[in-house]
């Protein structure tokens, strides 16, 4: 989905840290960074990435999410990666043989938002591409977050999981209801312009003989007006429609004029 406005300044607001434990592919790191950037997250932490850091493939896959890539921090242990966080959730699609609160993405994101709004640090743990998080890593978390996936095919790509949780975070923030370019929609035309369209169309239909049954005319007019009102047309759209009607009207008048021309003497 294209639409990035590079003229806008990126603001690094307080958000959850995203911690990837032993990520194997640079492409997954990069696409996770891109997913974070899409929804305003920027704090990406890597625990022992297999191919080291920096990683050219990650940079390429991040698709210019430079403000995330440039601030990546690498840690040797998970304990070090989460040392400054007072709330940590582990994401997993597998049942764990331990007593841990299990949250859905909606509740987890609401908790994260409340926690961070109070000036405290929080983060989300994501596991390896092949087997996810280890039990000892999940044990370090305050709770488990899982998604309502299809049980028969529950495994998610890391970037997909990061994208979903980043979206949920954004949805609970004060920016969550702001859709891009939604304020650019043109205003609906004033009612008097719509009434003018009604009159123009109805006069043309009268002239063309559209209303063949006089007693049905009121009902047909009401139906036409209802359909047109439902369009919520802009002023420009109404002008265009009236131009179309005028063009049809002129053609009808020319046609009638040609049919009614008197024959000259001697013409058959």
pTM: 0.69
pLDDT of amino acid 1:
45
pLDDT of amino acid 96:
73
Q: Do both 100 and 65 map to the same domain?
A: yes
Q: Is the pLDDT of residue 141 over 70?
A: yes
Q: Do both 233 and 173 map to the same domain?
A: no
Q: How far, in Å, are 4, 18, 32, 55, 181 from residue 29 at the CA level?
A: 21, 11, 5, 9, 29
Q: Where are the alpha helices (DSSP H) in the chain?
A: 26-38, 56-61, 66-69, 78-81, 105-117, 135-138, 158-172, 191-208, 217-230, 235-260
Residue 5 lies in a domain: no
Q: Do both 166 and 232 map to the same domain?
A: no
pLDDT of amino acid 7:
64
pLDDT digits (tens, 9 = 90+) for 84-139: 999 999 999 877 778 899 999 999 999 999 999 999 999 999 999 888 999 999 99
Q: Do both 241 and 196 map to the same domain?
A: yes
Three-state secondary-structure class, residue 53: coil
Distance CA 241, CA 37 (A): 43
Residue 161 lies in a domain: yes
Three-state secondary-structure class, residue 17: strand
pLDDT of amino acid 265:
57
Q: Is the pLDDT of residue 36 over 70?
A: yes
The stretch 64-80 carries a mean pLDDT of: 96
Q: Do both 98 and 121 map to the same domain?
A: yes
Residue 6 lies in a domain: no
The stretch 170-194 carries a mean pLDDT of: 75
Q: Do both 87 and 170 map to the same domain?
A: yes
Q: Do both 71 and 175 map to the same domain?
A: yes
253 pLDDT band, cuts 50/70/90, is low
- Domain end, chosen from 150, 180, 210, is at 180
CATH code (residue 244): 1.10.8
Which token pair is 133? 């998080």
Among 15-29, 71-85, 161-175, the range scoring the smallest mean pLDDT is 161-175
pLDDT digits (tens, 9 = 90+) for 212-225: 898 999 999 999 99
CA dihedral 123, 129, 130, 135 (to 10 degrees): -10
Positive or negative: CA dihedral 211, 213, 217, 223: negative
Range of the domain at 215: 191-253
pLDDT of amino acid 256:
61
Residue 40 lies in a domain: yes
Three-state secondary-structure class, residue 226: helix
Name the domain count of the chain: 2
Q: Is the peptide bond before 204 cis (omega within 30 degrees of 0)?
A: no
Residue 260 lies in a domain: no
- Domain end, chosen from 151, 180, 209, is at 180
Residue 222 lies in a domain: yes
Q: Is the pLDDT of residue 6 over 60?
A: yes
CATH code (residue 106): 3.40.1280.10
Distance of CA 160 to the CA centre of its chain: 15
Distance CA 140, CA 54 (A): 27
CA dihedral 59, 61, 67, 73 (to 10 degrees): -60
pLDDT of amino acid 248:
84
- Domain end, chosen from 153, 180, 207, is at 180
Q: Do both 169 and 200 map to the same domain?
A: no
The stretch 52-77 carries a mean pLDDT of: 96
Three-state secondary-structure class, residue 102: strand
| Residues linked to residue 45 through DSSP beta bridges, in sequence order | 19, 73
Q: Is the pLDDT of residue 13 over 70?
A: yes
pLDDT of amino acid 130:
85
Q: Is the pLDDT of residue 175 over 50?
A: yes
Q: Do both 126 and 21 map to the same domain?
A: yes
pLDDT digits (tens, 9 = 90+) for 226-245: 999 998 899 999 999 999 99
Distance CA 165, CA 177 (A): 16
pLDDT of amino acid 9:
77
10 pLDDT band, cuts 50/70/90, is confident
More confident residue, 200 or 257: 200
Question: Could you give the count of Cα atoms lying within 13 Å of 267 in the half-sphere of its Cβ?
Answer: 5
Residue 223 lies in a domain: yes
Q: Do both 118 and 66 map to the same domain?
A: yes
Q: Which residue has the tokens 């509740």?
A: 107
Distance CA 71, CA 141 (A): 24
Residue 12 lies in a domain: no
Q: What is the average pLDDT score of the chain?
A: 88
Q: Do both 197 and 72 map to the same domain?
A: no
Q: Do both 82 and 173 map to the same domain?
A: yes
- Cβ atoms within 10 Å, residue 162: 27
């Amino acid at each position: 989905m294209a639409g990035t406005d590079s003229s806008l300044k990126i603001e690094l607001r307080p958000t959850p840290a995203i911690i990837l434990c032993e990520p194997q592919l640079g492409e997954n790191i990069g696409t996770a960074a891109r997913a974070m950037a899409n929804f305003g997250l920027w704090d990406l932490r890597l625990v022992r990435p297999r191919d080291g850091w920096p990683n050219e493939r990650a940079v390429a896959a991040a698709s210019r999410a430079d403000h995330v890539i440039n601030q990546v921090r690498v840690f040797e242990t998970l304990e070090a990666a989460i040392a400054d966080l007072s709330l940590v959730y582990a994401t997993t699609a597998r049942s764990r043989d331990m007593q841990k609160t299990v949250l859905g993405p909606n509740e987890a994101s609401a908790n994260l938002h409340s926690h961070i709004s109070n000036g405290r640090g929080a983060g989300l743990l994501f596991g390896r591409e092949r087997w996810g998080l280890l039990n000892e890593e999940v044990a370090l978390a305050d709770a488990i977050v899982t998604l309502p996936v299809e049980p028969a095919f529950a495994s998610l790509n890391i970037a997909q999981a990061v994208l979903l949780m980043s979206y949920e975070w954004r949805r609970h923030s004060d920016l969550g209801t702001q859709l891009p370019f939604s304020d650019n929609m043109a205003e609906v035309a004033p009612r008097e312009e719509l009434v003018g369209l009604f009159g123009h169309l109805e006069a043309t239909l009268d002239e063309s003989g559209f209303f063949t049954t006089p007693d049905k005319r009121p009902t047909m007019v009401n139906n036409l007006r209802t359909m047109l009102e439902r369009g919520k047309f802009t002023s420009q759209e109404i002008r265009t429609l009236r131009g179309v009607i005028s063009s049809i009207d002129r053609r009808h008048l020319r046609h009638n004029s040609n049919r009614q021309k008197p024959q000259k003497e001697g013409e058959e």
